[in-house]
Amino acid sequence: KKFNCKINYDVFANNEELLAKIQAGGARYDVIQPSDYMITTMLKLNLLEELDMSKIPNTKNLIKDLQAPAYDPTGTHSVVYSWGITGIAYNKKYVKTPPTSWRDLWNPAYKGRVVLLNDVREVISFAMKMHGHSLNSVDKNHLAECMKDLKALSPNILAYDTDTIKQKFIAEEAWIGTMWSGDAYFSFKENNNIGFVVPKEGTGIWADCFAIPKGAKNKALAQEFINYLYDPKVSAKNYEYIGYNDPNLAAAPYHSEEFKNDPILKTAKDYIGNSEWTDDVGDAIELYDRCWTELKTGK
């Protein structure tokens, strides 16, 4: 309403689907929302417009660690929208001892009750961390090591799920599994038996970002839209609704005390400086995808 325009909204299942859409004719989009490592990929493929940051002044209030992250070191081709960390969510009714390691997912007591995020990088990443490797490792021996363990986890798996993982935890179908911090916050609000921890081996930090595809027809309006979302009052209202950490420091005075003091969101803040970003693994993504197919099909 403010800019007298209509927003057409498309969704995509994962970053790879978004990439395919952009490569097939992304100029019909004005704003896209790739994740961290996909920003790197799109930059290599020259698929993103450089942003005029003078037209997006509200982004100057972003958390310092998110202003020029590893995937966009100049901070001129993307702006963080939502960010968080990946950890283990668990139901305290059924998981009596809080998990401390990724290895706890293999506990036979959780047979058929573990949900993992339906994302190849997320699943292989936590296995890499469990073994003390970088979550971006492309070492074939590291991947083989992870695959052996992940296949052994199969009896415990209820589902690989990203879209309805919150509902599975709220309804107590799932007892334990990997979850993004914002989804854990949302789930806890609906079922206060749900806890969230970061395993001792460490974890990954992630961000979904705003970017403008090369050749976008309404770049100026797209930048106004991004700037509007970072207006402090708008930002506070938005992040209270979606349940993810607000990257906009100027929005803090407008957040509720409940939001500011939530233990799950505080956990994400505590790990912002010492968690690992997911990076583009280059041609090794084909090997990752083969591993993913093996896990999903059991072949």
Domains 15-82+206-261 and 84-204+276-297 share a fold: yes
15-82+206-261 — its CATH code? 3.40.190.10
Residues in the chain: 299
Rg (CA), the chain: 19
Residues 275/134, Cβ–Cβ less than 8 Å: no
Structure confidence at residue 27 as a pLDDT band (50, 70, 90): low
Coil, strand or helix at 151: helix
Residue 109 pLDDT level (bands cut at 50, 70, 90): very high
Check pLDDT > 90 for residue 14.
Answer: no
pLDDT bucket at 26, cuts 50 / 70 / 90: low
Q: What is the pLDDT of residues 223-237, one digit of tens each?
A: 999 999 999 999 999
Other CB atoms within 10 Å distance of the CB of residue 185: 25
Between CA 184 and CA 165 the distance in angstroms is: 10
Residues linked to residue 196 through DSSP beta bridges, in sequence order = 89
- What's the rounded Cα separation, in Å, for the pair 115 and 113? 7
Token pair listed for 265? 């969101």
φ/ψ of residue 70, rounded to 5: -60, -35
**Mean pLDDT, the chain, as a whole number?**
94
Give the pLDDT band of residue 274 (cuts 50, 70, 90).
confident
Question: Which of 13, 11, 206 shows the shortest CA–CA distance to 118?
Answer: 13
Interatomic CA distance for residues 198 and 204, integer angstroms: 10
Q: How many CB atoms lie within 10 A of CB 215?
A: 13
May I ask the CATH architecture of the domain 84-204+276-297? 3-Layer(aba) Sandwich (3.40)
Write down the pLDDT at residue 174.
99
Place of tokens 């998990």: 99
Delimit the domains of the chain by residue range.
15-82+206-261, 84-204+276-297
- Helix residue spans in the chain (DSSP H): 15-23, 36-44, 120-130, 140-152, 165-170, 181-190, 219-229, 232-242, 257-260, 263-270, 285-297
Percent share of the chain, pLDDT over 90 = 82
**Residue 161 tokens, joined:** 């799920």
pLDDT in tens, 92-107: 999 999 999 999 999 9
Residues above pLDDT 70, as percent of the chain: 99
Q: What pLDDT, on a 0 to 100 scale, did the predictor assign at position 152?
A: 97
User: Is the pLDDT reported for residue 9 higher than 90?
Assistant: no
The Cα 188–Cα 87 span in angstroms is: 14
Whole-prediction pTM: 0.87
Average pLDDT over residues 66-84: 93
Tokens 């906009």 sit on residue: 248
Q: Are 42 and 34 in contact (CB under 8 A)?
A: yes
Report the distance separating Cα 78 and Cα 230, nearest Å.
14
pLDDT-derived band at 77 (thresholds 50, 70, 90) equals very high
278-297 pLDDT tens trace: 888 989 999 999 999 999 88
Q: What is the DSSP string of 189-203?
A: HH-TTEEEE--TT--
Contacting residues for 54 by C-beta, under 8 A, at least 6 apart: none
- Give the pair of three-digit tokens for residue 43: 């930059």
Give dist(CA 120, CA 112) in Å, integer. Answer: 20
- Tens digit of each residue's pLDDT (9 = 90 or more) over 142-163: 999 999 999 999 999 999 999 9
Residue 191 tokens, joined: 């079922």
Identify which of 111, 86, 82 has the alpha carbon closest to the alpha carbon of residue 201. 86
